[in-house]
Chain A
Amino acid sequence: MAYRVLIVDDSPAMRTFVRRVIDLSGFELSQCFEASNGGEALELLRNEWVDAILTDINMPEMDGQEFLRRLSQDELLRSIPAIVISTDATAHRIASMASLGARGYVTKPFLPETLRAELERTLGVPCD
């Protein structure tokens, strides 16, 4: 089965990198959407269904915290698993994002297999 993934990050370079890493990892991707902040992501999610969301925290206009908060308040969208990708590996931040509904957390720098494993875990993909 191939999956539809949304990457939310204000850095076009980082979005390109995450997409590339997903490809390199061998994760089966059918479609990849991109948004540069939480507001843009919510707008996109009105029209496109995705299986998983990968989101940064620090973004202009609507940051990752507010984005997760809005997702959790939406009856339909709250079922989409969101994984945070961040440089911030402090216990405080990880706990804070989990409390807002993040189902996974990947700390930069990461290996392609780490991202794949986190995507598969949150999506409930059975191990090979």
Chain B
Amino acid sequence: MTETVIRQALRDSVNEVLERMFFVETQGECADPECAEPAGAAPADEIAAALTFQGEPPGALLLRLTSGAARQIAADFLGIDEAEVSDVQTSEVVRELANMICGSVLSRVESAAAFHLAAPRMVPPSAEIAGSLSNTRYCVLLSNGRLTVNIGTGIPICPQPAQSAC
């Protein structure tokens, strides 16, 4: 898997998942220089979910959303008003979104291989994929915030950049 292939799969997957399952259209790729910062520098108003996958190769996916975008996406997914969305529902939907993006990317890049996806979990927004052989990032603007995905092969998610023992 080359980084170009993964990046294209990531872009296609994010756009397709958002359009088909969340009825959300992206507003284009994020040009904000903040997106280029390491995940450890994530702003405090973001929430994040991560999951690991086993297969050839193994790896991890980290999804970060600004809280406004997360709430909007949860409302669109559940078909309810944004004001009615609870924090628990937002977390459930963000985990589901991470799961769908990861499955879609892996199916695009390795459609014949067998992968096992672990259950997504919420992580601090400062988490990062450390020490992986490749780490591909894709960031898009939504009408109410920003969505950033990192997918890496090799090493699991670290809760904080300074903790390298995970």
Contacts and interface: CB of A to CB of B under 8 A. Distances in A.
A107 interface: yes
A86 B103 CA distance: 8
A87 B104 contact: yes
Q: How large is the interface on B (under 10, 10 to 19, 20 to 34, 35 or more residues)?
A: 20 to 34
Interface in B75-91: 77-79, 89
Given A17-B78, A90-B111, A109 B104 contact: yes
Contacts of B146: none
B114 A90 contact: yes
Contacts of A108: 17, 21, 100, 103-104
A92 to B, nearest CB: 4
A107 B107 contact: yes
B79 A90 contact: no
A58 B115 contact: no
B93 interface: yes
Interface in A88-116: 88-93, 107-111
A13 B111 contact: no
B112 interface: yes
Contacts of A91: 111-112
A13 B103 contact: no
Contacts of B104: 87, 89, 108-109
Contacts of A20: 78-79
A107 B104 CA distance: 9
Contacts, number: 71
Contacts of B20: 109-111
B147 interface: no
B25 interface: no
A11 B113 contact: no
B103 A92 contact: no
B113 A88 contact: no
B16 interface: yes
A31 interface: no
Given A11-B96, A107-B107, 14 more contacts: A11-B95, A13-B77, A14-B96, A60-B119, A90-B111, A90-B113, A90-B115, A91-B112, A92-B113, A93-B114, A109-B17, A109-B19, A110-B20, A110-B21
5 contacts: A13-B89, A87-B103, A87-B104, A91-B112, A110-B20
What 4 A-B pairs come out closest when comparing CB atoms?
A: A87-B103, A89-B107, A109-B20, A13-B92
